Amino acid sequence: MDKVLIVERDPELLADIRRGLDKVQQFEVLTAGDGDEALSVMSSHYISVLATDIETPTLDALELLAYMSQKHPNTPCIVMTDRGKPWFKKRISQQSFLYHLEKPFEIKSLVSALFVGLHLRDEGQSAKGMTMASLLPLIELQQKTCRMQVRAEGKRKGYLYFDSGEIIDAHCGKLPVDDAAREMASWNRISFVLSDLPRRRSRRRIKTKLMDFAEATWSRGFNPAPAGDSEDSGNPGNSEDTGEAGADREEVITLEDEVIELFDEVEEGEAEEEEADTDSETDAEAKARSVGPEITPETRQKAAEWLETIVSELRDIRDCRTIALVDTGGNVLVKRQGGGEDVEKLAYAMSEILATARKTAAGLGLDHARSFTLHARDVIVITQQLEDLTSVPLCALVTCGARSNWSFIKSRLDELSF
């Protein structure tokens, strides 16, 4: 029997929805109260359709959709919101893998949307997958400040930049800014990743409104989230403070800032190289590099055991801070955190840099690049591929103090045998 997953932060509403759907008896109903619980459910169940509230604890709808676009691109998704519904000029919403359902709704409306999703999947109508046009309104609805890395139909890649729900910049090959945004807005079957807005991308370069790119308008009930409520609104790169206080904050450059700046330079160069690269990646290679392999519960359990082994080997090294195991897509499987870094963001950035290093090494006729070490003012970050762990390639990510014996850490990682 098909399984549908309902993610809703209001426990009473979630219980009402479940009671209503159970009466249909055409699919099994699974529920989750927040994003983390939803990920846990999907790690052990194959989900045919996902329906999620626009805003849930731990992960909001956009973050959950980013995960779905990478790990489960053929699963139709429904976003339930009480802040308004977009109306598309091309009437794409009824046949899109991303459907918007406005609250309050009758249970039959949700049932209908779920059946549409099941029908699209059963009929094999997954060619378009999740479309950028259907996703863009959620950025405005959530008043997001972020950078979005987008891949579509294999190799095509670009970046969109948003400030408080407004599109301010875009990068796609050598296209002019507005043309780049318009091109990406037309993409189908997308996968995307969200990250903080870099400081040097905070200037508005696009005049066209976001909803114009989506070719959509809002229903009368449009009520966007306050910009200050967004978790990423505190990003120092987006500060509008002026005067001495603002200047003082601008002077403080953290490890996270340095990695993001380096990652930003690498990814723009990489995007431009892809346009002229005659030895292009295959679709499978591009997907594997940006998303990473599917991680089974068994692999995750083994990774936890390997982490304990690594921790025991490095525990006596002075100022060794965070240790994590990461897949090729930059996803953290397990971690033992001892520093204040954002491990998930750091892991993703370092995996992208290592992937670029591997491509460069191959182009120079060198051996396979296996490790990368970043030296910042106060912290050193080591990313090292681990051999013979499993069929899924994994890397160890270790952070330590600037005066720590990082070379010894690296040698211990080299010597470890599992």
Q: Mean pLDDT check: name the lowest of 21-25, 326-330, 395-399, 400-404.
A: 326-330
Max mean pLDDT range (260-269, 304-313, 357-366): 304-313
Structure tokens at 318: 């002075």
Sign for the pseudo-dihedral over CA of 219, 220, 226, 227? positive
Question: Pick the residue with more confidence: 207 or 250?
Answer: 207
**Distance in angstroms (rounded) separating the CA atoms of residues 205 and 213:** 15
Question: Pick the residue with more confidence: 74 or 389?
Answer: 74
Band the pLDDT of 71: cuts 50, 70, 90: confident
> Could you tell me which residues come within 8 angstroms of residue 249 by beta carbon, excluding any fewer than 6 positions away?
236, 239, 241
Output the average pLDDT for the chain: 78
pLDDT single digits (tens) 222-235: 666 665 444 443 34
Q: Mean pLDDT check: name the lowest of 63-67, 114-118, 204-208, 325-329.
A: 325-329
Paired with 326 in beta bridges are 332, 395
Set out the domains of the chain in order of their start, with CATH numbers: 3-130 (3.40.50.2300), 134-252 (no CATH), 276-415 (3.30.450.30)
Whether the pLDDT of residue 261 is over 80: the answer is no
Whether the pLDDT of residue 168 is over 90: the answer is yes
Tell me what pLDDT residue 387 has: 63
Band the pLDDT of 362: cuts 50, 70, 90: confident
Tell me what pLDDT residue 268 has: 52
User: Which helix (H) or strand (E) covers residue 298, if one does?
Assistant: helix 297-314
Cα angle 102, 105, 106; round to 5: 155
Please state, for a pLDDT cut of 90, what percent of the chain lies above it.
30
pTM of the model: 0.55
**Distance in angstroms (rounded) separating the CA atoms of residues 281 and 275:** 11
For helices 297-314 and 35-44, the axis angle rounded to 10 degrees is 110
Residue whose tokens read 């932060």: 9
- Mean pLDDT, to the nearest integer, of 342-356? 84
Q: Is 25 exposed, middle or buried (0-12, 13-18, 19+ CB in 10 A)?
A: exposed
